[in-house]
Structure 1
Amino acid sequence: MKKIYFTLFILMSAIAGMAYLYFSNLTRETSYQETSLYAATANSGLIFCIQNEKSVFEVLKGQHFFRKLLGEEKFGQLSLLKNELMSGPTVSNLIGNHNIFISFAAGKNKEIDYLVSTQLNDELEKPKLITAIQSKGITITTENGILKLALKDSSLFYLNIEKNLILLSNNSELIKTAMVHEPTEENHQFVAYIKSGNKFSKNSLGNLYVDFNKVPAILKSILPGNLNGGLSVFNHQNSFATFNYNFSRERVFFNGNSEIHDPKNYLKLFTALSPQQNSIDNLLPENTANFRLYAMADYNIWKKSLANWFQINKEDQKVNRTIQDFNKEYHLNTADIFPAYFKNQFITFQLKSSENLAAVNLTNGDKVKQFLLDMSDDYNPDIKRFKKSGLLYCYFGEPFKQFSRPYYAIIDNNMIVSNQPAALSSFLEAYRSNKLLINTQDYINIYSQISKTANITYYINRKNSGDLVRKTIYLPYYNHYINKQGLEGFSSFVYQLSGDKGEFQTNLLLNTIPEISPDTLENLTNK
């Protein structure tokens, strides 16, 4: 389930990220101001910086994805916030050339709250801002030292102006913590990362910044239970990411980079590799819900990094014992199997029915099949099972930890594994019948928009993942997931990580179902 959790978080980030677009016409120039930036990072690991494009809002009016991604309630709140509080030349001039940061954090009752932080040109202009707000018919009272704003429709917002720092939120608690927050070393690092990431924003409409250290708190507003099992990937993941928004009327596309600071993180094994053309996804059945694909140019070079990763995670001795036990019991050298005949890609994937499988591409499947004969039991003529546990994990690491003693089948130089033989039988039937994901219209369409060259690729099919999502997120978020006015219009998305000298270049694409005009639909019906 790790794949679906990760992609759910990425999807949620993209949904939240669209919020910044409503504020984009308020700025004149781009300049980072640390007081508002530190306030933004006090509660949140999702930070948005508004760029200085005057016509952004007008351009984005034509993109109907905004309302669908954000949802009716948050769309309505942010519409009011922009139109009733922050629009108009007076407020715009008082803010001047300062950036506007919007951060999202976990709230009460499974809600996600937001904080807007920016600055006045001059702290002496605070009375002018208050007057400008009151001129719009907004009632201002004081509650526990924070200004409470009541709009004509009874909507409530909270405002605090301390010196020239402006904090605005739907939750007064976010303002309080931002006001008294003493920056930690982690915050200093994140702020430094955001400031250095400014070089990516010069040609972008806006930027989303992610501090994965603070992701668990946000996820708990969406997902029940503790962050264990598949969700443990988000615990203590010391990494940052930045995404640039790229406007399109047909899809939602972000690109940027990611930095992973934790040497225990498995993904770090791919940060220095050159991106590879992906092809192992060609064997996936059409009912695939999600997958995670890994690619490398040279396994023997990568294996040295894997050995170091085992050592850092204090598993090197266990791995060595497992390999020695296999070699001793079956009188062979397992290094002559996968290191010798592995090609360059492996993949883990989940079917619509929730079964998990994985595949490894090989240079010579027949040879591997012969090597594995003595260490395998027959399930049926096509499917076998390892007699001992742990071999695949020793040579490929974390993605294969869940496949300790799997069933497997080798076909067309690919080894497919699963813990359920029925899942393998289902896979083989779909593969031999050519009922494959690559033949679906959406999959063809999504890769006409983005390159298939990467080191790591996450994919989720929205429709095939419906039942899986229903079991893992709270009902309000699931309702938005299946709502025609929500995420139903999105068909799938791809998240790519490509090695770049110790970092990742990243792409995130949310694809849509092409709309069919009434005339076209009538013509198709009449045929």
Structure 2
Amino acid sequence: MRNTIITTILLFIAVIGASIYYFANLDGDKKKTLRPMTFLPKETFLIATLNNDATSDNIFKDFEIFDALVGSEAIQRWTSLKAKILRNASLQPYVDGVEMYISFHPEKEQITPLFTIPTLTPVEKADLPAIVDELRKTYQVTQKDTLGSRFFSFSGEEAADVFHVLYHEGIFFASYSAPLLHQILDDNAAKLEKAHIDYFIDNNNRNSPMSVYFIHDQIPQIAKQVLRRKSGDTLGLFEQLGGKSAWNLNFKNDALILSGESETSGKKDNYLEIYGHQAKTTQSLYNVFPESTASYLSFAISDTARFRQDLTALFTARQELDQLQQQFSQIKRDKGVSFETDLRPAFGREFAVVEQSNQTTLAFVVLADTAAWRQAAAPIVSEVADSIYRFNHANIPYALFGDPLKAFSRPYFIRLKNILVLANHQSLLHTYQQDWRRSDLLINTLGFKNFERIQGNEANITYFLRTRTAAGTVSNLLKPAYAKNFQDKDNFGYQDFYSWSVQISGNSGTFLSSIYGIYKSKSALGATPAWTYAFENRPITAPAVFEHSDTSQFILIQEQDHTVHAIHPTGKKLWSAVFHGRIVGQTQQLADRSLVSVTDRNQLYRFDPFGNSLPGFSLHMPYEPSYSPTIAQVGREQLIFVPAGRRIAVYTLEGKKVTDWDHVELDGRILFDIKVKNDRVFVGTDRGHFYQFGADGELQKEVVIEGSHFKNPIGLADNTQKQTAIYAVDTAGNLLSIDFEHTPAKSSLGASAPEAIVAFSPQGNEDARSIVAIDQKQLLLRDIQDSATHHEYTFTQIIEDRPQLFAANGGGRLLGIAVRGSSLIYLFDEQGELLDGFPVEALPGFYYGKIDYNSAPYLLCIRRDKKLYAFKN
């Protein structure tokens, strides 16, 4: 099966939008009219109109998608024609405020646009010479009379082609093709049917900036025009559909979206007709498609009884029903399995066909009842390998669901819970099993996540094509002229579309339909960096931003050879220095702008923003630090507290060791950082020992949580009794509040996995306010005093890295999550909503926020090429 063929139709429709914008930026109100469309030839592939007013002008201004579709050369030519002809002072009064039509017509090895512009008032024959004389100032103009009408041809330095204009019965017709204009004048040439024109006018949304009309009977002609060879199975479903569609543009900077209604001819032997009496319903099978998916065709059924009735009518119309019934009667006699009462009820409401990058296909079918399936299938399938089976009889998938599964006559299959995966070769199932185990799935890719944000998952039929993955197949299917444009990355931008898709839903016998072209906009976050900074080795710390002076800030990051780089907000290197060891935790900045870091080689650094070590530093510590240092005022002195496993190393800002803390040895390893508040030092350990120390290192209080283990950082906040308390989460998912005065309070966090990752999010620089918990693939957010989860988010892969917290406007925090398996990073606001532009492709360890005092927010992230990327948001 060649699913990718249908993309040629989508690409062709998309070009309409670009043509309209560059020719039709006319001001004024839209005028209702039928007459212009009555002159169009029957061989009209598509028709489009534009709402010609200042609003449309602003909407389409700098719309990157049109540049990608039309090509830069055509844009320059069309823009010139629009400005110098349509906006000419002599012509403007006649066309200002009219509705313009753009239609596309086949001509040999090209598709030619025709521009149809009715005039507000008729242009008198005597006035035409004056208008032409004005245009002669810019173009070379020739004219001739044909069939009683006058043709004008414009050529000049800007235009590589001659542009022909005909004024006929109060309408301007313009094209690069003179023969096409001759068809307009030929009364004997077949024209558009009035029924089609009436449908288009009835479904024209006056509030839409653009409308597109399509006659389904043109699908075979379009395929013949642009394809090298006969269309495949997917396009074959649409070839005999009949009827027409009217779509309106939903404007979005990073997507071309056309949505509207479709009407078919009602042919009983056409497969898609059976979905006309279905209703949109949730589709979910895409969650299990392999990462190698190039395209898929997915179906969902809302009314199974009506579907079976209409499918039976289809088989009857094709004279196939008797043969199928005889086959299944024989199976019932031989195997005791009834197709209607045993087999059919076991199957669910969804199925799909996936074409992979190597042009092999898989099918996916949902089971409604796995127990019923096992019982019904046992006599009619055979195990051919470990967990791989094969149907003993042909045509079962086809009899259940019809045409899309006809190619899977007697397939092999595996079962994933309630989903059957079908293939015509065992090797394809072995490969898919590996993909499934490794989570190499379509939903784990960045492009598909962006696609999901724009296109919903409710429909009866969804066709999806992934441009880059299917590019080779598409290029081979297109005729040379069209393949050349598709592959041209300089003049066109087809490769910058992540995907093309069609969604269709039943609507009481007709259809609702939409077309989506998801575009990788150059202005999207993560697309075009403001600057990059290259490293010799892989960076090993997240980028962090610190104050450099009263007027500027800087970025600090360390690479694998332990070189620390200081980078200006413009991406220029300020200085670099090799540290002894890898920085542990995060670097801290003091009020005097000096910075403090510790490394895994027992080294403590304090240096200024220019990279100079302060007196007394660096110094060697007796213990290896286990996390970030804490700089805090204790007593009357500011001290550096360094967590070091079971020890606490304390130093003055001059680098002198505070010996009062030498005797402290804890039961267990310190849980990340040390908390300090009101001259008291708070520490928790992995063995459930929690401590409160005084300013001089004396132990004031200790609480032991028997039988519990801990692996996450602690938080510090006032509890409901207004007492300062340590908050900690044990490996059983219990949240404990320990204030050293009362019995520790315990409540369930809601994260049950022992490996759950927990963080406490503060308000500003103060106490913890909310809890972030990552339970494998599940993100849970809740207030520290409220046991109710106020937001959840489910990822497609297990999260391995700890969340990052970034300052947000208003003193809150933004939550950063990295998914190592898919190399995607996410950013959530305090309500748990994903920020626009995310996820972005990057490795774990990133920064989001200002990189200079008055800068816009930036995303600083690392990619596999060992570069730091700065993306302005």
TM-score normalised over the length of structure 1: 0.92
Give the corresponding residue for 1:53: 53
Give the corresponding residue for 2:258: 254
Specify whether residues 519 and 160 from structure 1 end up closer, same or farther in structure 2 by C-alpha distance, changes over 3 A only. Answer: closer
The code of the aligned residue for 2:196 comes to F
Q: 1:271 aligns with which of 271, 276, 283?
A: 276
Distance 1:329 1:18 in 2: 62
Deviations 1:178-224 (A, max 9, x none): 222558696122111111112xx221001010001123223323111
Distance 2:183 2:403 in 1: 38
1:229 is displaced (CA, Å) by 5.5
The code of the aligned residue for 1:132 comes to I
Distance 2:332 2:183 in 1: 58
Give the corresponding residue for 2:527: 516
- What value does the CA root-mean-square deviation take over the aligned residues? 2.5
Give the corresponding residue for 2:610: none
Which stretch of structure 1 is more off in the superposition, 435-444 or 487-496? 487-496
Give the corresponding residue for 1:202: 206
Distance 1:306 1:196 in 2: 31
Distance 2:42 2:80 in 1: 25
Question: Within the alignment, does 1:526 sit opposite 2:868 as a pair?
Answer: yes
Whether contact under 8 Å (2:8, 2:226) holds in the other structure is no
Which stretch of structure 1 is more off in the superposition, 409-418 or 182-191? 182-191
Specify whether residues 228 and 432 from structure 1 end up closer, same or farther in structure 2 by C-alpha distance, changes over 3 A only. Answer: closer
Specify whether residues 471 and 32 from structure 1 end up closer, same or farther in structure 2 by C-alpha distance, changes over 3 A only. Answer: same
Give the corresponding residue for 1:421: 426
Give the corresponding residue for 1:407: 412
Q: 2:161 aligns with which of 155, 165, 175?
A: 155
1:495 is displaced (CA, Å) by 1.8
Distance 2:230 2:298 in 1: 26
Give the corresponding residue for 2:500: 493
Higher relative contact order (CA 8 A, sep 6+): 1
The code of the aligned residue for 2:127 comes to K
Which stretch of structure 1 is more off in the superposition, 291-300 or 231-240? 231-240
The code of the aligned residue for 2:166 comes to N
Question: Within the alignment, does 1:317 sit opposite 2:322 as a pair?
Answer: yes
Distance 1:165 1:186 in 2: 17
Deviations 1:247-284 (A, max 9, x none): 22222222211112233332222222221111111110
State the secondary structure of the residue aligned to 1:379: strand
Identity fraction in percent: 21
1:299 is displaced (CA, Å) by 1.8
Specify whether residues 378 and 148 from structure 1 end up closer, same or farther in structure 2 by C-alpha distance, changes over 3 A only. Answer: farther
Whether contact under 8 Å (1:94, 1:125) holds in the other structure is no
State the secondary structure of the residue aligned to 1:9: helix
Alignment of 1:283-432 (within 5 A): 283-365=288-370, 367-432=372-437
Which stretch of structure 1 is more off in the superposition, 368-377 or 208-217? 368-377
Q: 1:170 aligns with which of 169, 176, 183?
A: 176
1:341 is displaced (CA, Å) by 1.5
Which stretch of structure 1 is more off in the superposition, 339-348 or 119-128? 119-128
The code of the aligned residue for 1:356 comes to T
The code of the aligned residue for 1:195 comes to I
1:408 is displaced (CA, Å) by 1.6
1:470 is displaced (CA, Å) by 2.1
Which stretch of structure 1 is more off in the superposition, 23-32 or 164-173? 23-32
Whether contact under 8 Å (1:274, 1:499) holds in the other structure is yes
Give the corresponding residue for 1:114: 113
Which stretch of structure 1 is more off in the superposition, 475-484 or 265-274? 475-484
Give the corresponding residue for 2:653: none
1:73 is displaced (CA, Å) by 4.5
Distance 1:477 1:492 in 2: 18
Whether contact under 8 Å (1:45, 1:209) holds in the other structure is no
Deviations 1:497-518 (A, max 9, x none): 1222222222222212345342
State the secondary structure of the residue aligned to 1:504: strand
Specify whether residues 258 and 357 from structure 1 end up closer, same or farther in structure 2 by C-alpha distance, changes over 3 A only. Answer: same
Distance 1:371 1:234 in 2: 34
The code of the aligned residue for 2:442 comes to L
Give the corresponding residue for 1:71: 71
The code of the aligned residue for 2:212 comes to L
Give the corresponding residue for 2:12: 12
Distance 2:171 2:272 in 1: 38
Whether contact under 8 Å (2:65, 2:519) holds in the other structure is no
Whether contact under 8 Å (2:2, 2:359) holds in the other structure is no
Distance 2:40 2:310 in 1: 37
Q: Gapped runs of 5+ residues in structure 2?
A: 534-859
- Structure number with the higher strand fraction is 2
Question: Within the alignment, does 1:213 sit opposite 2:217 as a pair?
Answer: yes
Which stretch of structure 1 is more off in the superposition, 462-471 or 280-289? 462-471
Task: From the CA coordinates, give the structure whose radius of gyration is larger.
Answer: 2
The code of the aligned residue for 1:90 comes to S
Whether contact under 8 Å (1:120, 1:165) holds in the other structure is yes
Deviations 1:85-121 (A, max 9, x none): 222343232134432111011112x211111112233
Q: Gapped runs of 5+ residues in structure 1?
A: none
Specify whether residues 228 and 452 from structure 1 end up closer, same or farther in structure 2 by C-alpha distance, changes over 3 A only. Answer: closer
Deviations 1:381-439 (A, max 9, x none): 22222232111111101111111122222221111112222222211211122111111
Which stretch of structure 1 is more off in the superposition, 299-308 or 218-227? 218-227
Q: 2:513 aligns with which of 506, 509, 518?
A: 506
Give the corresponding residue for 1:22: 22
1:364 is displaced (CA, Å) by 3.0
Give the corresponding residue for 2:648: none
Which stretch of structure 1 is more off in the superposition, 419-428 or 76-85? 76-85
The code of the aligned residue for 1:518 comes to P
State the secondary structure of the residue aligned to 2:24: helix
Alignment of 1:87-126 (within 5 A): 87-108=87-108, 110-126=109-125
Specify whether residues 234 and 292 from structure 1 end up closer, same or farther in structure 2 by C-alpha distance, changes over 3 A only. Answer: closer
Deviations 1:211-245 (A, max 9, x none): 01123223323111345655434534312111111
Deviations 1:358-384 (A, max 9, x none): 111012335424422332343312222
Specify whether residues 42 and 297 from structure 1 end up closer, same or farther in structure 2 by C-alpha distance, changes over 3 A only. Answer: closer
1:36 is displaced (CA, Å) by 1.1
Specify whether residues 337 and 432 from structure 1 end up closer, same or farther in structure 2 by C-alpha distance, changes over 3 A only. Answer: farther
State the secondary structure of the residue aligned to 1:434: coil
The code of the aligned residue for 1:467 comes to G
Distance 2:144 2:352 in 1: 56
Specify whether residues 73 and 318 from structure 1 end up closer, same or farther in structure 2 by C-alpha distance, changes over 3 A only. Answer: farther
Deviations 1:10-62 (A, max 9, x none): 23211233211123332523233222112235331300112132242343222
Question: Within the alignment, does 1:86 sit opposite 2:86 as a pair?
Answer: yes
Q: 1:191 aligns with which of 183, 193, 197?
A: 197
Whether contact under 8 Å (2:154, 2:163) holds in the other structure is yes
Distance 1:3 1:134 in 2: 53
TM-score normalised over the length of structure 2: 0.57
Give the corresponding residue for 2:833: none
Give the corresponding residue for 2:142: 140
The code of the aligned residue for 2:511 comes to F
Distance 2:515 2:232 in 1: 26
Specify whether residues 363 and 42 from structure 1 end up closer, same or farther in structure 2 by C-alpha distance, changes over 3 A only. Answer: closer
Which stretch of structure 1 is more off in the superposition, 455-464 or 176-185? 176-185
1:127 is displaced (CA, Å) by 4.5
Alignment of 1:465-484 (within 5 A): 465-484=470-489
The code of the aligned residue for 2:299 comes to Y
Whether contact under 8 Å (1:42, 1:178) holds in the other structure is no
1:287 is displaced (CA, Å) by 0.8
